[in-house]
């Protein structure tokens, strides 16, 4: 009997120690989480500065902070952080990774900017609701959101997000609310989304977004044909240009060789003078012949005339 009582006391003591350790660990990390968030954001309206005061050391003191909800009022373990429309400026608060038990984050209607972290699933891996709408977030939607397997609500509308919607997000089984309207997204809407989510208002006002429930995407065959025609045209022009270049090369090469041959035949460039000299030589020879014949005729004529006189 005594042994049984001692055993129970030991069990209860161990459980109490384990519970105390877990609570103190949760308290330390969650306090660090909120401190990091406050330090990383610019509080333009002084909401956090006036409410989030860390001088108090009583159990559960952070549960009275503006926008902070705890699992239990007397336990410093953050359940939700809701800070919508508070004029907060800065990047996505990475300090959320220290709120290890958080399930809901609402930072909508502020002035947050930059990209959504690619490793967001390691920062808010147990979140069931993530609302980052009506901010100035840019860049692509991180595919890592598909690893936040507990998400029921994901709102990214009214930002400046670009690129395509990762199809992996559509496979989140618990996702019931999803909105990316009023961004700069492009490409086809993944068919992996629950039909309940595929409403026009959830995807509207994205200039390059297409597919159900928006306008159909351009036909792939048309794009292929256009690409083939364009490629053929470019190829034809290129081949023609190469052909012309080769023809010009051989033409100028031939002309150069002909000039060289002519120069070798008449290295001093006096072929014309030689031709002219030959013509003069012919004329001189012809003149000499005429003179000889004239002289011969004169001689014969004189001889005959003397013969006649003697007779």
pLDDT digits (tens, 9 = 90+) for 86-114: 999 999 999 999 999 999 999 999 999 99
Whether residue 213 is preceded by a cis peptide bond, meaning omega within 30 degrees of 0, is yes
Name the phi and psi angles at 114, rounded to 5. 85, -175
Confidence tier at 56 by pLDDT (50, 70, 90): confident
pLDDT, average across residues 57-81: 92
Confidence tier at 52 by pLDDT (50, 70, 90): very high
More confident residue, 227 or 248: 248
Q: Which of 133-137, 186-190, 238-242, 282-286 has the lowest mean pLDDT?
A: 282-286
pLDDT, average across residues 42-62: 92
Mean pLDDT, the chain, rounded, equals: 77
Identify which of 49, 135, 37 has the alpha carbon closest to the alpha carbon of residue 84. 135
Q: 30: how many CB neighbours lie within 10 A of its CB?
A: 25
Query: What DSSP line would sit under 97-160, residue for residue?
Result: GG-TT--EEE--SSEEEEEPPTTHHHHSTT-SEEE--SSEEEEEPPGGGGG-TT-SEEE--SSE
- Indicate if the pLDDT at residue 61 is higher than 60: yes
Q: For 182-214, b where at least 16 C-beta lie within 10 A, e where not — what string?
A: bbebeebbbeebeeebbeeebbbebeebebeee
Region of 109 (left: φ > 0; alpha: ψ -120 to 50; beta: rest) is left
- The structure's pTM equals 0.65
Maximum average pLDDT range among 7-16, 42-51, 252-261 = 42-51
Alpha-carbon distance of 77 to 70, in angstroms, equals 5
How high is the pLDDT of residue 240? 58
- Indicate if the pLDDT at residue 63 is higher than 60: yes
Q: What angle do CA 21, 22, 24 make, to 5 degrees?
A: 65
The rounded percent of the chain whose pLDDT value lies above 70 is 62
Name the phi and psi angles at 263, rounded to 5. -70, -40
CB 99 within 8 A of CB 33: yes
């Amino acid at each position: 009997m005594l042994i049984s009582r001692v055993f129970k006391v030991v069990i209860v003591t161990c459980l109490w120690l384990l519970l105390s350790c877990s609570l103190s660990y949760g308290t330390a990390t969650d306090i660090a989480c909120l401190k990091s968030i406050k330090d990383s954001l610019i509080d333009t309206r002084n909401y956090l500065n006036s409410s989030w005061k860390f001088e108090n050391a009583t159990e559960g003191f952070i549960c009275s902070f503006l926008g902070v909800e705890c699992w239990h009022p007397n336990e410093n373990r953050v359940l939700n952080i809701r800070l919508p429309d508070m004029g907060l400026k800065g990047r996505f608060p990475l300090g959320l990774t220290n709120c290890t038990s958080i399930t809901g984050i609402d930072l909508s209607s502020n002035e947050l900017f930059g990209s959504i972290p690619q490793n967001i699933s390691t920062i808010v891996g147990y979140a069931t609701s993530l609302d980052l709408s009506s901010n100035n977030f840019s860049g692509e939607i991180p595919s890592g959101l598909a690893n936040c397997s507990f998400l029921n609500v994901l709102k990214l509308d009214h930002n400046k997000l670009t690129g395509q919607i990762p199809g992996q997000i559509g496979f989140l089984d618990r996702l019931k609310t999803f909105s990316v309207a009023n961004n700069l997204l492009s490409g086809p809407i993944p068919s992996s989304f629950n039909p309940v989510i595929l409403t026009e208002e959830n995807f509207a006002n994205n200039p390059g977004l297409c597919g159900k429930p928006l306008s159909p995407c351009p036909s792939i065959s048309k794009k292929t044909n256009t690409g083939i025609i364009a490629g053929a045209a470019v190829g034809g022009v290129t081949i023609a240009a190469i052909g012309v270049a080769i023809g010009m090369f051989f033409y100028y090469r031939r002309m150069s060789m002909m000039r060289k041959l002519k120069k070798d035949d008449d290295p001093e460039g006096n072929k014309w003078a030689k031709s002219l000299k030959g013509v003069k030589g012919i004329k001189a020879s012809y003149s000499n012949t005429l003179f000889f014949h004239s002289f011969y005729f004169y001689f014969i004529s004189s001889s005959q005339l003397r013969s006649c006189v003697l007779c």
